[in-house]
Amino acid sequence: MKLTIVGCSGSFPGPQSPASCYLLTAEWEGRTWRVLLDLGNGSLGALQRYTDLREIDAIFLSHLHPDHCMDLCGLHVAVRWDPAGWELPRIPVWGPAATADRMASAYGLDPDPGMHEDFDFRSWSDRTAVSVGPFTVTPFHVLHTEEEAYALRVEAPGTDDRGARVLTYSGDTDACDGVVDAARDADIFLCEAAFHEGRDDAITGVHLTGRRAGEIATRAAVKRLLLTHLPVWNDANVSVGEARQSYDGQLAVAVAGVSYQV
């Protein structure tokens, strides 16, 4: 599968990137399948550089903070008001139990019908896998404020004898067993590192630092660590330096517009 970084700015869009959105594509049974991990604010515009919105097969939301889901409102407009019509099945959207009502509220809609006519909302169940085309996605409950939040482990067939490839996306989380289990032996661990050591130590149960992201990557024996969700006030070099203290494998920082073959 191919990972394209559509947006990776932490907490709100920055001058170089929208908020969180990651496009996964894979060839399977004669066509290209396209799914999204999160659709944060500012990402819908950038997403159209890489795919037609009509080609989205599913959307997987890690949690319901605006920087991870709010552009679902814009996609609702694209589906509902396209003058050419949108004669396609409803787009499946997996997320926390409150997803449909939260999106309706954000757009000022009555929950019934809300956005149900455009999206097929489905709720995550911890560690219960779902499948879309070649992708198998398993949510792992993680620690992030009081929100229902998940890390997402995505598996897809490989193109050689190595078998299935694994990408794990941390979503937003502090250190916990769920994110370690989700990342176990992943080929790429796309992991948030929104906090800095010594600056954000008093804030618990919200985000990881680079060091804690590296510790999780080491515990999970991941092959490559890709730091993401860095707010605009973070120094990426500091985040990388922190991660290098606790992880000695392949390490980089996510950059909008860059793609990786998993």
Instruction: Tell me the CATH architecture of domain 2-261.
Output: 4-Layer Sandwich (3.60)
Residues 6+ apart with CB under 8 A from 81: none
pLDDT tens for 146-203 read 999 999 999 999 876 678 999 999 999 999 999 999 999 999 999 999 999 999 999 9
Mean pLDDT value across residues 26-32: 95
Considering only CA atoms, which of 221, 224, 226, 222 is closest in space to residue 210?
226
The whole-number average pLDDT for the span 23-40 is 97
pLDDT, tens digit, 9 for 90 and up, residues 201-222: 999 999 999 999 999 999 999 9
- pTM exceeds cut of 0.75: yes
Residues 139 and 97: their CA atoms lie apart, in Å, by: 13
Q: How much is the mean pLDDT over the chain?
A: 97
Task: Give the confidence band of 256 by pLDDT, cuts at 50, 70, 90.
Answer: very high
The three-state (H, E, C) secondary structure of 211-227, written as one string? HHHHHHHHHHCCCEEEE
Separation of alpha carbons 7 and 12, rounded Å = 10
Residues 6+ apart with CB under 8 A from 257: 4, 5, 49
Q: Alpha helices, DSSP H only, in the chain?
A: 43-47, 66-69, 72-81, 99-106, 177-183, 210-220, 236-244
- The answer to whether 64 and 73 have CB atoms below 8 angstroms apart is no
Q: Is 11 helix (H, G, I), strand (E, B) or coil?
A: coil
Q: Which residue has the tokens 């949108």?
A: 86
pLDDT at 82: 93
226: confidence class by pLDDT, cuts 50, 70, 90: very high
Take residue 68 and report the two structure tokens written for it.
């991870």
For the chain, domain boundaries: 2-261
